[in-house]
Amino acid sequence: MATPDKLFEAFPPVSKQAWLNQLEKDLKGKPLQGLQWQLEENIELAPFYHPEDGPFEYPPLKGNRPNNDWEAGEYIEVEDFRQANAEALEGLNGGVEAPLFRLQKPVDGPQMAQLLENIRLDMIAANFEEHYTAIEPWAIFRYFTELIEKQGVNPASVRGSIDFDPLLDWSNPPIDKLSELILHCASHMPNFRILQANAQRFHSGPDDSSIELAFTIAKGSEYLARLTALGIPPETVNAHMQFAVSISKSYFVEIAKLRALRLLWANVMKGYGAPGLAPFVVAHFAEESQDENPNSNMIRASTQAMSAVIGGANRLYVLSSNRALNEPSTAFTRRIARNLQHILKMESHLHQAVDPGAGSFYIEKLTDMLAEQAWDKFRQMEAAGEFR
C-alpha cells in the first residue's frame, strides 16, 4: 500500500500551460478571458490557480485553536417565556450548544429564571440579543449573573455572550458601563463575551467583501482604542469581544472572507502589542440569502454552513428554512437546521482539521486579495477617523 507521501507518484505533474492548452481546446474558440471573475474593482479571479502562480506556502490559520470545532447555535425567539424555554430545551436535547435568546421585550429577574428553567448554565453557551428600543444589556447581565449565583453555578464555567454594541445602538456610547462589565468578566467570568462588534449591517453582498471587512476591523479597532485608553489590556478586550458576521450564498468568497478577517484582526492585535490573538467569529446567514421556497433554503443552507465552518467560524446559526415566509420556525425547521451542523461534524468531520481551507490555491489567493484590499481601506478609514 502506498504511503501518503507517495500517493501521486503514478501521476505525472501537469504544467499550467498544459492546463491552459486544454482549456483553449475545450472552449472551441471562445476567449479564455470570459472565464475570469471580476469580484471587485481591484479583484479579478482566474478560473483556476496552479502551483506556478505561487508560492503558496502559507501555514494553516490556527490562531490559538487546537482544531476547527465550533458551537452549534439556534435562534430562540422570546415573547412568551415558557414557550421559549420549551423550545430551548427541545434544541438542547437535540444537540444545540449555543442558543441565542432573541428578546422581543425587556425581562426582569423572575422572567429570566423562567426562560432558563431546567437549563444547566455550566454546560451550554447562553447568548442574548435585545430587539426593542430601550435596550439595557447591563440589566440582562445582572439578572443572568443573579440566576447563576442562585443555581450555585461556578461563574468561571459559564460561557456565552450579550450583544452589547455601543457604537451601533447608542448616539452616546456607554463605554464606561461596557468597561465595567468587561473587568467583571475578566475577574469572574473568563469565558463570557460582553462586547459584540456587529458587522452584519456592513454586509451588502460578495461584491463588497473587502469594504465589509474594512468596516468590521475598523469597528473592532475603535473598541480596542477606547477600552485600552481606560486601562484595559488589549488581550482582555479581545477575550470578551466577538464579531457577528453575515454569510451569503457565495461559497468561496465567504470562506475567504472569514479567513481574511482572522488574518486582518491578528494584524490589528499585533499593532496593540498582542500578536497571535484571533477573533471570535459568530456566523449568521444573511437574510437576503433566503427565498420563499423552504426546500431551496434547506439545500442552500448546506453550502452556506460549510462556508462558515471552513472559514473558521467559532459559532454558527443556521436559519430555519421558512424564515423568508415570515412564519414562526417549527419543530421540523429547527430540527433540520440543527441537524445540518451535526452532519458537518459527525459525518464530514469539518471540526477536526484546524484550517480546512489551507492549501487550496484558489482559496489562499482569494484570501490574500480580500485581506490586501480590506487593509488598504481600513488604513484610509483610520486616517479619516471613520468611527470617532
78's CB contacts (< 8 A; 6+ apart) are 84, 101, 102, 103, 104, 105, 107, 115
Q: Taking 90 as the threshold, does the pLDDT of residue 58 lie above it?
A: no
φ/ψ of residue 103, rounded to 5: -75, 125
Cell of 379: 488604513
Right CATH number for 194-388 from 3.40.1350.10, 3.40.50.300, 3.20.20.240, 3.10.20.740? 3.20.20.240
* Domain-wise residue ranges, the chain: 72-170, 194-388
- 298-321: b or e for each residue (b if 16 or more CB lie within 10 Å)? bebbeebbbbbbbbbbbbbbbbbb
Residues 123-138: what's their mean pLDDT?
95
Fold: same for 72-170 and 194-388: yes
How far from 312 is each of 67, 70, 86, 271, 371, CA to CA, in Å?
10, 8, 31, 22, 15
Q: Would you give the distance in Å from CA 269 to the centre of its chain?
A: 18
Q: Taking 80 as the threshold, does the pLDDT of residue 81 lie above it?
A: yes
297, 324 Cβ separation under 8 angstroms: yes
**How would residue 387 be classed by pLDDT, with cut points 50, 70 and 90?**
low
CATH superfamily of domain region 72-170: Enolase-like C-terminal domain (3.20.20.120)
How far from 9 is each of 4, 19, 360, 361, CA to CA, in Å?
10, 19, 20, 21
Residue 349's pLDDT is 94
256, 213 Cβ separation under 8 angstroms: no
Residues 71-89: what's their mean pLDDT?
97
